[in-house]
Amino acid sequence: MSLRNRIAGTVFALLSIVAVTVNGQQDRTEARKLKNPVPSDAESIEAGKKSYQRFCASCHGPKGKGDGGLALSGGTPSDLTDETWDYGSSDGEIFVVIRDGVSSDMLAYKEKLTEKQIWQVINYIRSLGPTR
């Protein structure tokens, strides 16, 4: 391969990385704008708890500490009760993470949960840990 082709390939790869970073940041900016339309009341928190127990507790643990039974299967589930959130801590960012997933460790749930159920799960998660 010629030097010119290698340089062109490197430039293309770097531009691809920049585009993904810019798009990822743009996606987070758009996600931050999403507002939870489901009131955080006892009914929605209880509904969110039921969905959480069915779909989330096996990895994130019964109280959201990241200590679920499947936590040992390769990934390290997030502790949903601490103040460190790798993918953003706004309701909108959490919504997008649950809906779309972020990796092979955190799969998308858009086929398993309705949008309302995802917002209810967020209300439940908020009831577990510090207010963000």
48 domain residue, yes or no: yes
Number of domains composing the chain = 1
CA angle 68, 103, 24 (to 5 degrees): 130
71 contacts: CB under 8 Å, gap ≥ 6? 59, 61, 77
By CB neighbour count within 10 A (0-12 exposed, 13-18 middle, 19+ buried), where does 58 fall?
Answer: middle
Read off the pLDDT of residues 39-53 as tens digits, 9 standing for 90 and up: 999 999 999 999 999
Residue 95 lies in a domain: yes
CATH of residue 107's domain is 1.10.760.10
In this structure, is residue 11 part of a structural domain?
no
Query: What torsion do the CA atoms of 67, 68, 69, 70 make, to the nearest 10 degrees?
Result: -100
> Considering the domain boundaries, does residue 60 fall inside one?
yes
Tens of pLDDT, residues 4-39: 544 544 434 333 333 333 334 456 889 999 999 999
Find tokens 């949960």 and name the residue. 113
Q: For residue 111, is it within any domain?
A: yes
| Residue linked to tokens 């936590």 | 71
| Residue at 27 is within a domain | no
Domain hosting residue 81, numbered range: 34-128
